[in-house]
A and B are shown apart, each in its own frame.
Chain A
Amino acid sequence: MKSSYRVQLAILVIAVISALLVGAILLLIVRANPFTAYRAMLLGPFSSLYGLTETAAKATPLMLVGLGIVIAFRSGILNIGGEGQMIIGALAATVVALTFQNWSPLVLLPLTLLAGFLGGALYGAIPGALRAYFNVNEILSTIMLNAIAQQVLVFLLRGPLIDPTEIAYGTGFPQTQQLAKGIWLGKLIPQTRLHWGFIIAIVLAIFVYIFLWRTVIGYRLRAVGAGPKAARYAGIPVERGLILAMALSGGFAGLAGIVEVLGIHHRLLDGVSAGYGFTGIVAALFGRLHPIGLIPASFLFGALVLGADMMQRAVAIPAAIVLTIQGIMVLFVVGSDIFIRRPEWVEKITARWRPKASQPAQPVALSSSAASDQGEPPRD
């Protein structure tokens, strides 16, 4: 039995507020005013065109990475390798875009996006195959692959792929030259950083929903996630499912990488993944591992990342607070999941206050039906 949507939402909101309260304690340590800080963080992203578009721009990679996380987690494999897959995807696509820079953008843009997807997909398929055939824990292998991808990126950006002008001027900044202007993702609103990648992400979210819930392959993947043994008895090839799930998951992360390059930076540089690989996990969990739930969740976390940025400037506190608060949020969100899986836990807590409020009620008979009666019945 699961809780109603209303209870689920309430639990998530309580989890976020609690996480922010813990964050406030950390702010008080530096004698920063938590009200100033949180006002900058919570209102900043929504109080100007700059804030709104920047929030959406930050939500874009989160959504793309998050879609991959949703597919993987639903298929029963935990992909922590979003960072590495973003990097390898962006790398593969950048190489393609630089090699064929004279081609018509009409051909080159789809080719570049495809290269980004395939680069990430290949890099995601490695831990998928290791898990499927060698029983290698995918969390550990993806974390190692993140570190490896980062080193590969830095090596290539400092050597073979470095912008020739960086060498000519002797600055040696680790980045590639700009990609052909024709394949940059256009702006949705001029003078902002909001680009077409945002629309791509939303459309893909709908596709992923259809894929997971309305196609046979999607159904099989979810069956593997729900119970590999049962799936195997039903004749579903579990190994192939795991690899496919990780390849798709990595592919979306790779796409996030190249979309960041084409939409924001216009060249590949160190730090292109910018922690989105991890924040995407948080957003996906927060969207209850549902592609449509992910859309508002990405907005929330895009706003949070931006807001934390603004807060950090408003009260001059170290940027590491962002990662800290995100970590606290993960802990609160996964910790609160028990209240969603087991509505009787919510009952236990609310029952402490209820008897006084509704005096005449019989204490025992009430308990089991109360939680499930309110709101809509659970739907999948």
Chain B
Amino acid sequence: MIDQLLQMSVIVGIITTGVRLATPFLLAALGEMFDQRAGVYNLGVEGIMMMGAFVGFWVALRSGSPWWGILAAIGVGIFMGLLMGLISITLQAEQGISGIGLYMFGVGLAGYLFRITVGYITGIEGFKPIAIPYLSDLPIVGQIFFNHNWMVYFAFLMVPVSWFVLYKTTWGLKIRSAGMTPEAADTLGLSVVAIRYTCLVIGSIAAALAGAFLTLGHTNMYADNISAGRGFIAVALVYFGRWSPWGILGGALFFSLVDALQLWVQVLGLNIPYEFAVMAPYVLTILALTVAARQIWGPAALGKPFNREGD
């Protein structure tokens, strides 16, 4: 059984799947990082992902083009971000609970809409892999890294882009100040509310794209619970990666490799109960949080609603 896993082709297969499966973790976690850097903690990622997954799938099915699905998913992201902003920023609700509400709403609505529109499992035309010229010809590395669909490249590209935006632009500084010392940001004339809304919408679009990747760039179909807790793991990755794009990249790769390994274990029919394979990522999430959270540093005003009266 171990020799089976150690075959070269299997190892390459696992790593290739791992790189591809890092996409939803990366997108959702980088988006959540922007939310949290601005001081809002959005637990509804899973719900947004499910909505993005369904709407992306349905629009692609009806229009015949996954690109329309992506556009629709972006619309879903904007809507869900504004909704979360209304509850958490304007109405200053307890963010842990409003996130759970958003999760229930998103998962329920995606399931409901799926039943009334399609109702059965059906395939769609998803995004095709794009082989990067020359690089994809490299032995092993070429297959692992340079033969994926555009969403995979996009997600990895977003790591340095997020880093640049957060640390090298004025806007990034504004985001960080809204999350660290909103009162000071307010005194300097920045609109904490506007910054937080913007970040929530961006983060929510990223989450919806992460969901759309699952239907348009990975399985080419929609099924109930297709996200399978990845939205919550993405939130955990933000802690694990200590609110830094590079840390999130490391965490996302680690988790997607576990995810890939878990899938391959099922495919190869190894003598491990299916349930244990499925629960592995969840157990690891708890362990990762335990290791990472010990001396945690985080945006000081995370989770605290901002209001000018100062209480």
Whether a CB of chain B sits under 8 angstroms from the CB of A151 is yes
Number of A-B contacts (CB under 8 A): 146
8 A Cβ contacts from A16-38 to B: 26, 29-30
Contact A151 B275 (CB under 8 A): yes
Chain B residues with Cβ below 8 Å from A152 are 275, 279
Q: Given A155-B275, A334-B87, A130–B286 Cβ distance below 8 Å?
A: yes
- Measured CB to CB, the closest approach of chain A to B53, in angstroms, equals 14
Contact B276 A327 (CB under 8 A): no
8 A Cβ contacts from A314-350 to B: 317-318, 320-331, 334-338
Contact B93 A338 (CB under 8 A): yes
A141-149, A258-266, A368-376: which lies at the B interface?
A: A141-149
Chain A residues with Cβ below 8 Å from B112 are 26, 317-318, 320-321, 324
One digit per residue, 1 when the CB lies within 8 angstroms of any chain B CB and 0 when it does not, for chain A 114-150 equals 0000000000000000100011110111011101100
- Measured CB to CB, the closest approach of chain A to B112, in angstroms, equals 4
Kindly state the separation between the CA atoms of A203 and B245 in the bound complex, as whole angstroms: 51
Whether a CB of chain B sits under 8 angstroms from the CB of A204 is no
Q: Given A136-B293, A321-B108, A80–B236 Cβ distance below 8 Å?
A: no
Kindly state the separation between the CA atoms of A26 and B105 in the bound complex, as whole angstroms: 12
- Measured CB to CB, the closest approach of chain A to B114, in angstroms, equals 8
Whether a CB of chain A sits under 8 angstroms from the CB of B64 is no
Contact B104 A330 (CB under 8 A): yes
Cβ-neighbour of A334 out of B97, B107, B279, B293 (below 8 A): B97
| Chain B interface size range | 35 or more
One digit per residue, 1 when the CB lies within 8 angstroms of any chain A CB and 0 when it does not, for chain B 89-109 equals 001111011111111111111
Cβ-neighbour of B116 out of A29, A143, A327, A335 (below 8 A): A29
Contact B282 A327 (CB under 8 A): no
Kindly state the separation between the CA atoms of A327 and B80 in the bound complex, as whole angstroms: 13
- Measured CB to CB, the closest approach of chain B to A78, in angstroms, equals 5
Contact B229 A130 (CB under 8 A): no
8 A Cβ contacts from B70-123 to A: 83, 86-87, 91-94, 96-112, 114-116
Whether a CB of chain B sits under 8 angstroms from the CB of A212 is no
Whether a CB of chain B sits under 8 angstroms from the CB of A278 is yes
8 A Cβ contacts from A263-288 to B: 278, 281, 285
- Measured CB to CB, the closest approach of chain B to A37, in angstroms, equals 13
Contact B232 A144 (CB under 8 A): yes
Q: Given A140-B235, A144-B232, A148-B279, A322–B293 Cβ distance below 8 Å?
A: no
Contact A320 B115 (CB under 8 A): yes
Contact B93 A334 (CB under 8 A): yes
8 A Cβ contacts from B110-151 to A: 110-112, 114-116
Contact B91 A335 (CB under 8 A): yes
Chain B residues with Cβ below 8 Å from A145 are 282, 286
Chain A residues with Cβ below 8 Å from B289 are 130, 134, 136-137, 140-141
Kindly state the separation between the CA atoms of A328 and B112 in the bound complex, as whole angstroms: 14
- Measured CB to CB, the closest approach of chain A to B65, in angstroms, equals 24
Whether a CB of chain B sits under 8 angstroms from the CB of A154 is yes
Contact B111 A30 (CB under 8 A): no
Chain A residues with Cβ below 8 Å from B6 are none
Q: Given A78-B96, A323-B107, A151–B116 Cβ distance below 8 Å?
A: no
Contact A327 B106 (CB under 8 A): yes
The chain B residue sitting closest to A140, CB to CB, is B236
Kindly state the separation between the CA atoms of A5 and B204 in the bound complex, as whole angstroms: 36
The chain A residue sitting closest to B107, CB to CB, is A323
The chain A residue sitting closest to B279, CB to CB, is A151
Contact B286 A335 (CB under 8 A): no
- Measured CB to CB, the closest approach of chain B to A345, in angstroms, equals 9
Whether a CB of chain A sits under 8 angstroms from the CB of B310 is no
Kindly state the separation between the CA atoms of A337 and B88 in the bound complex, as whole angstroms: 11
Contact A136 B101 (CB under 8 A): no
Whether a CB of chain A sits under 8 angstroms from the CB of B189 is no
Kindly state the separation between the CA atoms of A370 and B233 in the bound complex, as whole angstroms: 48
- List 5 additional A-B contacts (Cβ < 8 Å) besides A134-B293, A320-B115: A151-B278, A155-B275, A281-B97, A330-B98, A337-B91
A and B contact pairs by CB, cutoff 8 A, 24 listed: A29-B116, A78-B96, A130-B286, A130-B289, A134-B294, A135-B293, A137-B289, A139-B43, A139-B99, A140-B289, A147-B279, A151-B275, A151-B278, A317-B112, A318-B111, A320-B109, A320-B114, A324-B105, A328-B101, A330-B100, A331-B87, A334-B97, A335-B87, A335-B93
Chain A positions near chain B (C-beta within 8 angstroms): 26, 29-30, 78, 80, 130, 134-137, 139-141, 143-145, 147-148, 151-152, 154-155, 159, 278, 281, 285, 317-318, 320-331, 334-338
